[in-house]
Structure 1
Amino acid sequence: MTAITKADMAEKLFDELGINKREAKEMVDIFFEEIRECLTEKEQVKLSGFGNFDLREKSQRPGRNPKTGEEIPISARCVVTFRPGQKLKVQVEAYNEE
């Protein structure tokens, strides 16, 4: 399995849309910055046909240092979660069946 990078996305925009590489990189950066800003402002991000990025509050809980066995508290925090949309789920399942 391989991973796609922001540079790969910019290259795809360059190839498909014919815009220059600097503009393609800028478009990718703006896209991800907008997602970051929305999540920072505790807004949900919904990408139709792809999925939703949500914030979830996790309460404080006890943890354990695996080396010493010492119990340590894990502080409450907010985490980003991703829930794939139905179209994405169907496409991934179809790919898995091949």
Structure 2
Amino acid sequence: MTKSELIAALMRKHPHLQLKDINLIVNTVFGAISRSLADNNRVELRGFGAFSIKERDPRIGRNPKTGEQVQVSKKFIPFFKTGKELHARINKAREV
């Protein structure tokens, strides 16, 4: 689901809200999550999952075009761990 699909789904579910209000809500939620991660804070949404930041150590990589070795510096990446309820719901939906 893309951001625009999420907004469309919210519009269908809440027709009394205007598009600009739903846009504001979605942008506010995503912005708050982004700012918290940028400040190295964990974001937990009970039943859904938790967003956090993981650190990747510096390493020697390889340029795929030339095969030349390059130094890759330390970096931080976003990480998402599913909550128990989401994990159970996904697995239940996949059972045949």
Q: TM-score, normalised by structure 2?
A: 0.91
Name the residue aligned to 1:34: 32
SS of equivalent to 2:61: strand
Mapped pair 1:55 → 2:53: yes
Q: CA deviation at 1:12?
A: 2.1
Q: TM-score, normalised by structure 1?
A: 0.89
Q: CA deviation at 1:67?
A: 2.5
Name the residue aligned to 1:91: 89
SS of equivalent to 1:43: coil
Q: CA deviation at 1:26?
A: 1.0
Q: Distance in 2 between matches of 1:46 and 1:19?
A: 27
Which of 64, 67, 78 is the aligned partner of 2:62?
64
CA RMSD of aligned residues (A): 1.2
- Unmatched tracts of structure 2, length 5 or more: none
- Unmatched tracts of structure 1, length 5 or more: none
User: Structure 1 stretches (4+) deviating beyond 4 angstroms?
Assistant: none
Q: Distance in 1 between matches of 2:25 and 2:3?
A: 10
SS of equivalent to 1:66: coil
Q: CA deviation at 1:94?
A: 1.1
Which of 5, 8, 11 is the aligned partner of 1:11?
8
SS of equivalent to 2:26: helix
Q: CA deviation at 1:13?
A: 2.0
Letter in 1 for 2:78: V
- Asked if 2 retains the 8 angstrom alpha-carbon contact of 1:65 and 1:71, the reply is yes
Q: How many positions carry a matched residue from both structures?
A: 95
Identity, in percent, stands at 29
